[in-house]
Amino acid sequence: MKPNESKFELNGDYYSTRFEPSGSETGDTLILNMGPQHPSTHGVLRIIVELDGEYIKKAEPVLGYIHRMHEKMGEVKTYMQYLPNMGRVDYLHALAWNWAYVGAVEKLTGIEVPQRAEYIRVITCELNRICSHLLWWGAYLLDLGAFTPILYAFVDREKIMDILQIVTGSRLTYCYYRFGGVSADITDEFINQTKEFLTYFKTRIPMYHDLVTGNMILRGRCEDIGVLSVETAKQYGATGPVLRGSGIAYDVRKVEPYSVYDKFDFKIPVGQNGDAMDRYDVRVAEMTESLKIIEQALESLPDGHYINPNLPDRIMPPKGEVYYAVEGARGKIGIYIISDGTAKPYRLKLRAPGFSNLHLFAELSQGTLLSDAVSILGSLDLVIPEIDR
């Protein structure tokens, strides 16, 4: 077997993959593996890098180390049985995936969601979004050599997880949403603790800026690093903070409003240069906007059912197809389902935003220093189980 070549077996046949170097005038390049256990990849992601000195000539992400066949499992489970899978696709913003899936089935089946349930979904999903951004914030700075911020991030993240545990019973891989609503109503304890957290966290974000954002070392590692043009972002199908960092105000909650998001007043933070610093600024600003949404949702929380009381005994959508999208912490989450009229989907396709965002790395890292590759990779906020689903 040749260098940089690997073999794998599929249905009794052997296949090989080979990384083709770009070539160098001197012929003196180095092939280096980042991962599949490199700490900056945040999961079992392998990136083959060709180096000319310390500069990257070519980078190629390699997936497949954590593939779990979520889409295939959707074809052999009933609609209800498949619900727990959603919390395992993107474990950092599991409720957004919960919402995308139940929203698709509700749209296909014609199930109505009570207004109270819609508000509960907004509150819990936005809390989960802040939770995701906090982990990214701490881990990104850890990648760049700063240890203290992740300790602050996890203190605040634990507070959110305590709140969500009250109604979901979980702390990470949530399975809280149901067809027609949510599995349990929010309690007074949940509401009071959420309001306390809103007051508390408003004082923490300025501290984050004082501690980190203005730090000259951070800015030196992020400014003008991994500059993403609007044209390139569109070509790769980038969404979420990665796209918004390049100045495009595309957010599914605003552009394609779902649920009751059109009732809330919030902004879409955008960057100007499209570099790693802009992507950092967008995510930190989004946490503030999520606080605004939660505050408004709590103030106008209606009474009523938390789940549709007239649900059918068995979920069996009519023949047809449906697509439903929501805004996750990493971008646009899409669920496409084809129904053949039985209790199981005929075909289920998951649109993971990280998959498109990851493939920007090969282009953004070309010609940069290897040390800058870590900054670029972290600025994309990748969750490998979502990409390699």
Cβ atoms of 250 and 240 within 8 Å: the answer is no
Q: Which residues pair with 325 in a beta bridge?
A: 334
The enclosing domain of 282 has a CATH number of 1.10.645.10
pLDDT tens over the chain, length 389 residues? 444 555 545 445 544 555 666 655 556 889 999 878 777 777 788 999 999 999 999 999 998 888 889 999 999 999 999 999 999 999 999 999 999 999 999 999 999 999 999 999 999 999 999 999 999 999 999 999 999 999 999 999 999 999 999 999 999 999 999 999 999 999 999 999 999 999 999 999 999 999 999 999 999 999 999 999 999 999 999 999 999 999 999 999 999 999 999 999 999 999 999 999 999 999 999 999 999 999 999 999 999 999 999 999 999 999 999 999 999 999 999 999 999 999 999 999 999 999 999 999 999 999 999 999 999 999 999 998 899 88
My answer on whether 31 and 114 are in the same domain is no
Domain count for the chain = 2
Cβ atoms of 173 and 88 within 8 Å: the answer is yes
My answer on whether 97 and 181 are in the same domain is yes
My answer on whether 203 and 267 are in the same domain is yes
My answer on whether 124 and 241 are in the same domain is yes
My answer on whether 220 and 346 are in the same domain is yes
- What's this model's pTM, rounded to 2 decimal places? 0.92
Measure the CA–CA gap between 14 and 193, rounded to whole angstroms: 56
Look at residues 14, 37, 62 and tell me which one is the last residue of a structural domain. Answer: 62
My answer on whether 173 and 74 are in the same domain is yes
Look at residues 16, 46, 62 and tell me which one is the last residue of a structural domain. Answer: 62
My answer on whether 259 and 296 are in the same domain is yes
- Token digits for 187? 């309690």
Residue 375 CB contacts under 8 Å (≥ 6 apart), including other chains: 143, 144, 221, 222, 225, 226, 276
My answer on whether 75 and 57 are in the same domain is no
Burial string for 122-145 (b: 16+ CB within 10 Å, else e) reads: bbbbbbbbbbbbbbbbbbbbbbbe
Using the structure block, give the residue that is written with the tokens 């954590």. Answer: 66
Domain range enclosing 304: 70-387
My answer on whether 336 and 370 are in the same domain is yes
My answer on whether 103 and 192 are in the same domain is yes
Please give the span between the terminal C-alpha atoms of the chain, in angstroms, as a whole number. Answer: 29
Cβ atoms of 119 and 197 within 8 Å: the answer is no
My answer on whether 82 and 14 are in the same domain is no
Angle at 266 between CA 101 and CA 294, to 5 degrees: 65
My answer on whether 169 and 27 are in the same domain is no
Measure the CA–CA gap between 260 and 263, rounded to whole angstroms: 6
